[in-house]
Amino acid sequence: DVKVTQSSRYLVKRTGEKVFLECVQDMDHENMFWYRQDPGLGLRLIYFSYDVKMKEKGDIPEGYSVSREKKERFSLILESASTNQTSMYLCASRPILGPTLANYGYTFGSGTRLTVV
Amino acid sequence: AQKVTQAQTEISVVEKEDVTLDCVYETRDTTYYLFWYKQPPSGELVFLIRRNSFDEQNEISGRYSWNFQKSTSSFNFTITASQVVDSAVYFCALRGLIQGAQKLVFGQGTRLTINP
């Protein structure tokens, strides 16, 4: 089974801290995604990456950056954490040949619940 | 722009009742894909179904069924004889072929509670 692993299930950080959320997938997927989940808003795309060192902004990139130095790892960075970034963050990956699969190839991690105090 | 609307924020029913979760979408793409996901308390999104825009056939899988109607831009999900294990947050999602290619656009989610 494809696994997408997010390093922390729960995180508590202080306002102004630099925060790293890590995501690792073990199936050589080219595409990786970071979503933010808030009640009443569903999941919103922050950033995605087509391949190593490639990244593209999603719908809500402000206040975030990403890094993809290796194919299996996609990091979300909060340069200076703020209380309005308190949320659940979900990582996902997908192979290039995803459309050939019933689920389109998307596999999600279990999420990191971040609280900024 | 692409948009998915799940107007029902929360639904609560008694076990064995049938329940329908609504999903309405907007897209300018002529080819697109619709998905339903289940999110149990553990947090990960579990894939339930994918429907292609050119295939309007309804689908049934055990107690689950999906009604895709292009004329009303709806992709509703029905659980028959609900069980406590069906309690979760359910998301409808859309992926266009051209617009917003590569990304899934999600609805707001519907929290379903099945009471024993």
Place of tokens 């997927």: A29
How close B50 comes to chain A (CA, Å)? 6
Q: In this predicted structure, what is the pLDDT of residue A95?
A: 85
pLDDT band at B79 (very low <50, low <70, confident <90, very high): very high
> Which residue in A has a C-alpha nearest to residue B36's C-alpha?
A103
CB–CB contact B102 A48 (8 Å) = yes
Mutate to test the interface with A, among B59, B104, B111 (most CBs of A within 10 A): B104
Q: In this predicted structure, what is the pLDDT of residue B101?
A: 61
pLDDT band at B43 (very low <50, low <70, confident <90, very high): confident
How close A47 comes to chain B (CA, Å)? 10
Q: Are strands A31-38 and B110-115 parallel, antiparallel or unpaired?
A: unpaired
Helix and strand numbers (H, E) in chain A are: 0, 11
Average pLDDT for A24-51: 93
SS3 B58: coil
- Cβ neighbours of residue A76 under 8 Å, at least 6 residues apart? A20, A21, A23, A34, A46, A47, A64, A65, A66, A89, A91
Beta bridge partners of B24: B5, B74
Q: In this predicted structure, what is the pLDDT of residue B103?
A: 80
A1-36 tens-digit pLDDT = 668 999 889 999 999 999 999 999 998 999 999 999
Rounded CA-CA distance A25/A103 in Å is 17
> Which residue in A has a C-alpha nearest to residue B38's C-alpha?
A108
Q: In this predicted structure, what is the pLDDT of residue A9?
A: 92
More confident residue, B97 or B88: B88
B23 pLDDT above the threshold of 90: yes
How close A13 comes to chain B (CA, Å)? 21
* CB-CB neighbours of A99 under 10 Å: 14
